Amino acid sequence: MNTNKINTLFGQPISVINIGLNSMAASVEAQGVPVVDLDWRPPVEGVPSLQRTRQGVDIESANQEVCSRIKQGRPTLVGMGIARDVIPGMHKQMILHAGPPITWERMCGPQRGAVMGALIYEGLAADEAQAERLAASGAVEFSPCHHHHAVGPMAGVVSASMPVFIIENKTFGNHAYCTQNEGLGKVLRYGGLGPEVYQRLKWMETDLYPTLDRALQTLAEGIDLRSLIAQALHMGDECHNRNRAGTSLFLRAISPALARTNQDNETLARVIEFIDRNDHFFLNLSMPAGKALLEPAEGIAGSSIVTVMARNGTDFGIRLASQPERWFTAPAGQVKGLYFPQFSEQDANPDIGDSTVTETAGYGGMAMAAAPAITKFVGGTPQMALQNTLEMYEITFDEHEHFTIPALNFRGTPCGIDVRKVLETGILPRINTGIAHKKPGIGMVGAGILRAPHQCFQDAFDSLAAL
Amino acid sequence: MNTNKINTLFGQPISVINIGLNSMAASVEAQGVPVVDLDWRPPVEGVPSLQRTRQGVDIESANQEVCSRIKQGRPTLVGMGIARDVIPGMHKQMILHAGPPITWERMCGPQRGAVMGALIYEGLAADEAQAERLAASGAVEFSPCHHHHAVGPMAGVVSASMPVFIIENKTFGNHAYCTQNEGLGKVLRYGGLGPEVYQRLKWMETDLYPTLDRALQTLAEGIDLRSLIAQALHMGDECHNRNRAGTSLFLRAISPALARTNQDNETLARVIEFIDRNDHFFLNLSMPAGKALLEPAEGIAGSSIVTVMARNGTDFGIRLASQPERWFTAPAGQVKGLYFPQFSEQDANPDIGDSTVTETAGYGGMAMAAAPAITKFVGGTPQMALQNTLEMYEITFDEHEHFTIPALNFRGTPCGIDVRKVLETGILPRINTGIAHKKPGIGMVGAGILRAPHQCFQDAFDSLAAL
């Protein structure tokens, strides 16, 4: 590499605006010249227009049915339970994880950390070394959350004893599951390990869960999550990486029942404090709400709509409504973002977690225009947040009816990622996400934004075209 | 009037854009032609530039001191008490009301209704007829809330037995007071009368107040209202007519203490439900927070900043930081807005209430750009909400540091209405407000937007120029 940096011309400092490939900017930047990298893409050529499958299914009609089902869904928190009792297929030696299927050997650091922590929490291993041996031994069955109607943020690990929320889509009767959110920092889902992680998980099992569960049992109608998400989008949340309003509204909705079923004032106070101190608490409700919305749309032949989008920290995977059993994967990307003090991009694991279910269901990054204040957490500017949403309308098939964005004059959020549009426009879904340390045991290091990788959309498109 | 309507030209329908006086538009509209009435004003001439008072005080410096004090303030909810025990000057035969001073004879319908209801609630009258006679007899002393460091929404009536929030400005040590919010509909502050109104007020005294008070007594630091307002502005509130986020955040802040001081589960549940079912609950905290912010700025000689802006439903009144004892009044205006079913503009009382303290302190209508969803309640469009705030920067001296608007790239809210700028630009403060029925006894009929009347700003300016 040329180490003679040329960053002046006729004595004036050079600045470059790059509207070509990113690699051009990189080579100029290597010369020490500041570069503004315009988000320009060459026009996409050679993408065949795809109106019907080879078997003659009209793709527009199929997509209409898919989006109609997504829009009709009414996800409702109806109760809680222990994973082994309520999640189909769950057993004591099984660990669920985020993203597409993966073996222990290919798991990234935070994913391994979370698995090890779960084995210790379950009492299946006494310490980290034992947990690592057990995980590698083949005695533990790993399975994606998405294969069990479940979703998990970041590592997304669910083990047999963990309490989970049960969400019912009241329109279609299907169910989805998700654990309770632990908070930020050194927590299991970011691969964090240590006594405080296990103790917190135990308290969530012995105190938080029974308290919430008792309250929920008295609410005959459950808690309408579609309504809470719709309101939160009018209160500055996008319901993926900003959930301050959602968490507040959830507390409002459940607090009268918490009071009526109270058995011990101090336990109730701690439960409320735990939720109040974690603005992400609602994420573990907005995610399974998305899962509950999307599953009834699976199995519609000929649809080019994405109904699963998830990452395990090694691979990014998507599934189509028309091929709900098949994963199309590509390497997980690197997140650009804001880091907690002491941490930097050097520490970051690639993109991880099932939380992209929110973008898939039509909020999260899709609704970023509703959440200008999120830029204090994930970086960027309010203007960029607005543009993100406007851009996403280019690759979605429909607009939500129940989820709207006040700043866009109450326009419905972009809904239903269409792989055809992704290929035609060259625009890839934008994702807001947290960032885990790449080593097991450490936990969260920041939050940021990235795009989904192109290849899995290409492969999904090719597969649809071949049917 | 010419009743031959001409609304086509050469067979084409005519549309008119009016950039002249409103009266021009009215005359065209009378012809049945649709008119877009641009909010244009002729340039204001003949307003003398005012840099120093006659006594030589530099107005800019005075205003800088005023705004610096407003921005430094830290209003904090520190406790509660009964009005007669904690509000200076309060006694059993006194009724506080919103806006500038007014006699029974000149009081509007909802103001009279609220006074009559308070006398019944206090046990000083057995029924409405008796209450009316007592009010008119001279045996009751009427005094503006603003003369007692207090503020009240709409009729703003405070009577001796009513519980009030106590707000302390931690920076300057001054206190402000406000009752608890009753909810919407047929409520005392809108002039509503009837058993359900008095029963609700009694429950607020015997159940709501002691429950909240007990909890607050355990919070050594109180509840930081500056922080809650700042957060609420990032969550779609403007903290005058939209308080859904503020109410949510207040519940989050007080709930752990409510749980710890709980004496009866069902009472606690009803208290939380009462707050949860009233998104305006936080208004009665954001208002005295504004009062607590503004009072330390009173008494700065030469300042042209407005520190009080309030209406009693008959008169609109303002006071300047430099003349804090003197009211400048003009007739209260008519509100343009959205009406509840069964009601229309015919039913509306003129503008009423102390809630304009929020605009005076730099949020409410000033921060409407933060609250695009408010337009579902007060009318207008999100674009208009944005423009309202941009316009208010033209007549304010400063921008807040602690209160920011994400959609404007976290710009500080317009702060400190400068009567000089109001006269120079001809732009009058915009106000978001509720609408009361003009007859006593009925209550709330809608919500809307209007501008403050010109004359009181003119009089305040002239008075300052004469000093």
Give B253-294 pLDDT, tens digit per residue: 999 999 999 999 999 999 999 999 999 999 999 999 999 999
Chain B residue with CA closest to A252: the answer is B276
**What's the half-sphere exposure (Cβ side, CA atoms, 13 Å) at B197?**
27
Select the residue of B244, B262, B375 nearest A235 (Cβ to Cβ): B244
Are A155 and A114 in contact, with CB atoms under 8 Å apart?
yes
Q: Which of A98-112, A248-262, B45-59 has the lowest mean pLDDT?
A: B45-59
Indicate the pairing of strand B306-312 with strand B352-353: antiparallel
Region B161-165: mean pLDDT is 98
Please indicate, yes or no, if residue B1 is contained in any of the structural domains: no
Which residues have CB under 8 Å from B62's CB, separation 6+?
A: B300, B301, B302, B303, B304, B321, B322
The answer to whether A252 contacts B410, with C-beta atoms less than 8 Å apart, is no
**Closest approach of A24 to chain B, Cα-based (Å):** 31
Region of residue A398 (phi > 0: left; psi between -120 and 50: alpha; otherwise: beta):
beta
The answer to whether residues A78 and A207 belong to one domain is yes
Judged by a CB distance cut-off of 8 A, whether residue A231 touches chain B is: yes
Q: Which of B289, B316, B349 is where one domain is finished?
A: B289
Give the Cα separation of A348 and A371 in Å (integer): 25
Which residues have CB under 8 Å from A205's CB, separation 6+?
A: A161, A162, A163
Give the Cα separation of B30 and B288 in Å (integer): 45
Q: A49 or A363: whose pLDDT is higher?
A: A363
Judged by a CB distance cut-off of 8 A, whether residue B228 touches chain A is: no
**What's the half-sphere exposure (Cβ side, CA atoms, 13 Å) at A422?**
23
Judged by a CB distance cut-off of 8 A, whether residue A373 touches chain B is: yes
pLDDT of residue B45: 63
pLDDT of residue B5: 44
Give B306-341 pLDDT, tens digit per residue: 999 999 999 999 999 999 999 999 999 999 888 999
| The one-letter amino acid at B419 | V
Judged by a CB distance cut-off of 8 A, whether residue B251 touches chain A is: yes
Q: B409 or A44: whose pLDDT is higher?
A: B409
The answer to whether B406 contacts A268, with C-beta atoms less than 8 Å apart, is no
| Phi, psi dihedrals of residue B133, rounded to the nearest 5° | -65, -45
Select the residue of B253, B259, B382 nearest A269 (Cβ to Cβ): B259
Region B150-172: mean pLDDT is 98
Please indicate, yes or no, if residue B53 is contained in any of the structural domains: no
Chain A residue with CA closest to B266: the answer is A260
The answer to whether residues A224 and A285 belong to one domain is yes
Q: Is B82 exposed, middle or buried (0-12, 13-18, 19+ CB in 10 A)?
A: middle
**pLDDT at residue B373 above 50?**
yes
Judged by a CB distance cut-off of 8 A, whether residue A406 touches chain B is: yes
**A12 band by pLDDT with thresholds 50, 70 and 90:** low
3-class DSSP state for residue A336? Answer: strand
Give the Cα separation of A90 and A279 in Å (integer): 29
Please indicate, yes or no, if residue A43 is contained in any of the structural domains: no
Please indicate, yes or no, if residue B304 is contained in any of the structural domains: yes
Judged by a CB distance cut-off of 8 A, whether residue A268 touches chain B is: yes
**pLDDT at residue B57 above 50?**
yes
Structural domain including B205 reads 75-289
**A44 band by pLDDT with thresholds 50, 70 and 90:** low
The number of distinct structural domains making up chain A is: 3
* A contact test, residue of B242, B265, B266, B378 with most A CBs within 10 A: B265
Where would I find the beta strands (DSSP E) of B111-220?
A: 141-144, 163-169, 175-179
Are B418 and B445 in contact, with CB atoms under 8 Å apart?
no
Alpha-carbon distance values, A23 to A15, B67, B462 (Å): 16, 50, 66
3-class DSSP state for residue B423? Answer: helix
The answer to whether residues A164 and A214 belong to one domain is yes
Give the Cα separation of B330 and B343 in Å (integer): 27
Taking residue A80's Cβ as centre, other Cβ atoms within 10 Å add up to 21
Give the residue ranges of DSSP H helices in A218-341: 225-233, 244-260, 265-276, 283-294
Chain A residue with CA closest to B278: the answer is A252
Residue with tokens 């407000």: B433
ipTM of the complex in this document = 0.89
The answer to whether residues B228 and B371 belong to one domain is no
Both tokens of A10, joined, read 């006729």
Interior angle at CA A86, CA A83 and CA A87, nearest 5: 70
The answer to whether residues B215 and B94 belong to one domain is yes
**Closest approach of B185 to chain A, Cα-based (Å):** 21
**Closest approach of A312 to chain B, Cα-based (Å):** 32
pLDDT of residue A14: 54
pLDDT of residue B467: 85
The answer to whether residues B326 and B265 belong to one domain is no
Give the Cα separation of B24 and B38 in Å (integer): 11
Are A153 and A355 in contact, with CB atoms under 8 Å apart?
yes
Indicate the pairing of strand A35-37 with strand A16-18: parallel
Residue A177 pairs in a beta bridge with A150, A166
Region A231-244: mean pLDDT is 97
Give the Cα separation of B119 and B105 in Å (integer): 17
The overall average pLDDT reported for chain B is: 92
Region B133-154: mean pLDDT is 98
**pLDDT at residue B243 above 70?**
yes
Q: Which of B289, B306, B323 is where one domain is finished?
A: B289
Residue B431 pairs in a beta bridge with B450
pLDDT of residue A369: 97
pLDDT of residue A15: 54
pLDDT of residue B15: 54
The answer to whether residues B148 and B282 belong to one domain is yes
Q: Greatest CA span in chain B, whole angstroms? A: 78
Judged by a CB distance cut-off of 8 A, whether residue B252 touches chain A is: yes
Q: Which of A380-384, B147-151, B405-409, B458-462 has the lowest mean pLDDT?
A: A380-384
Residue B348 pairs in a beta bridge with B437
The answer to whether B373 contacts A406, with C-beta atoms less than 8 Å apart, is yes
pLDDT of residue B12: 54
The answer to whether residues B20 and B125 belong to one domain is no
Chain A residue with CA closest to B404: the answer is A373
Are B258 and B211 in contact, with CB atoms under 8 Å apart?
yes
Reported pTM: 0.90
Please indicate, yes or no, if residue A47 is contained in any of the structural domains: no
The answer to whether residues A332 and A259 belong to one domain is no
Give the Cα separation of B446 and B341 in Å (integer): 9
pLDDT of residue A2: 38
Sheet (strand A430-436) strand order: A336-339, A444-451, A430-436
pLDDT of residue B222: 98
Question: What CATH number is associated with residue A155?
Answer: 3.90.1710.10
pLDDT of residue B333: 95
**Closest approach of A278 to chain B, Cα-based (Å):** 11
Judged by a CB distance cut-off of 8 A, whether residue B384 touches chain A is: no
Please indicate, yes or no, if residue B49 is contained in any of the structural domains: no
The answer to whether residues B220 and B267 belong to one domain is yes
Interior angle at CA A230, CA A226 and CA A233, nearest 5: 140
Select the residue of A259, A273, A410 nearest B265 (Cβ to Cβ): A259
The answer to whether residues A85 and A143 belong to one domain is yes
pLDDT of residue A449: 87
Please indicate, yes or no, if residue A52 is contained in any of the structural domains: no
**pLDDT at residue A277 above 80?**
yes
Give A413-437 pLDDT, tens digit per residue: 999 999 999 999 999 999 888 999 9
Select the residue of A265, A270, A376 nearest B262 (Cβ to Cβ): A265
B206, B139, B153: which is closest to B432 by C-alpha? B153
Give A371-408 pLDDT, tens digit per residue: 999 988 888 899 999 999 999 999 999 999 999 999 99
Question: Roughly how many angstroms between the first and final C-alpha of chain A, as a whole number?
Answer: 47
Question: What CATH number is associated with residue A370?
Answer: 3.90.1700.10
The answer to whether B252 contacts A276, with C-beta atoms less than 8 Å apart, is yes
**pLDDT at residue B441 above 80?**
yes
Q: B203 or B8: whose pLDDT is higher?
A: B203
Please indicate, yes or no, if residue A53 is contained in any of the structural domains: no
In chain A, % of residues over pLDDT 90: 85
Q: Which of B289, B322, B348 is where one domain is finished?
A: B289
Which residues have CB under 8 Å from B137's CB, separation 6+?
A: none
The answer to whether residues B13 and B103 belong to one domain is no
Chain A neighbors of B268, CB-CB under 8 A: 259, 262
In chain A, % of residues over pLDDT 70: 90
* B contact test, residue of A261, A265, A389 with most B CBs within 10 A: A265
